[in-house]
């Protein structure tokens, strides 16, 4: 019962915090405008740790490495604590396996963030295309949709590039990400 409670806390506090840090990294990497409800929430929610960490970790080639490393640290803590709760013996503490699994989980979260932004942008384009979130969602999705839009013809007045990207992301999650997760678990 205690193990379930600890796992619940890890699932509701630690992993979402890693996802929010990763979202902050992606928003800055993709130059998404942050003057919207989501951007402001992400900045306020993570500033307390990111701004302190930036004093010690500088940006590399314009990328916010402090935020990315904090996301990796939070996800690493989540992975390690989850394994500990499940009774993993940690014989020899498999650092390589934990690092690999953490990196794969960050990649998986990134794909889920992209899927979420695609879904929200599609819904908002029908309901309220002029919402304050529209520029941020467009900035997140544009680098991934532009190559598809140049190759896919419009069918009538319908742009299917979002649907195709959604399907491609799902396939990436099913095939290579699952395979990489199995490899990482094998390193543990």
**Tokens read off for 152:** 């896919």
pLDDT value of residue 152: 86
Region of 87 on the Ramachandran plot (φ > 0 left; ψ -120 to 50 alpha; else beta) = left
Q: What is the pLDDT of residues 163-188, one digit of tens each?
A: 999 999 999 999 999 999 999 988 87
CA max distance for the chain = 60
91: helix, strand or coil: coil
The domain segmentation of the chain, as residue ranges, is 2-186
Q: If you count DSSP H runs as helices and E runs as strands, how many of each does the chain have, helices first?
A: 8, 0
pLDDT value of residue 157: 79
Q: What is the pLDDT of residues 78-129, one digit of tens each?
A: 999 998 898 887 777 788 989 999 999 999 999 999 999 999 999 998 898 8
The reported pTM is 0.92
pLDDT value of residue 79: 93
Q: Tell which residue, 12, 184, 167, has the closest CA to residue 102.
A: 184
pLDDT value of residue 88: 81
């Amino acid at each position: 019962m205690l193990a379930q409670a600890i796992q619940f806390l890890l699932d509701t506090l630690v992993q979402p915090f890693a996802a929010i840090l990763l979202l902050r990294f992606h928003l800055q990497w993709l130059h998404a405008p942050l003057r919207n409800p989501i951007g402001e929430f992400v900045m306020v929610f993570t500033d307390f740790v990111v701004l302190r960490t930036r004093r010690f970790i500088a940006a590399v080639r314009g990328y916010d490495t402090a935020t990315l490393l904090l996301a990796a640290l939070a996800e690493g803590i989540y992975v390690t604590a989850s394994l500990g709760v499940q009774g993993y013996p940690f014989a020899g503490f498999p650092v390589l396996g934990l690092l690999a699994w953490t990196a794969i989980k960050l990649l998986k979260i990134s794909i889920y963030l992209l899927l979420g932004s695609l879904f929200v942008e599609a819904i908002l384009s029908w309901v309220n295309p002029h919402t304050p979130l529209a520029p941020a969602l467009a900035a997140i999705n544009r680098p991934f949709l532009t190559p598809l839009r140049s190759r896919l013809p419009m069918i009538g007045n319908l742009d299917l590039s979002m649907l195709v990207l959604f399907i491609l992301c799902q396939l990436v999650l099913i095939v290579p990400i699952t395979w990489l997760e199995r490899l990482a678990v094998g390193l543990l």
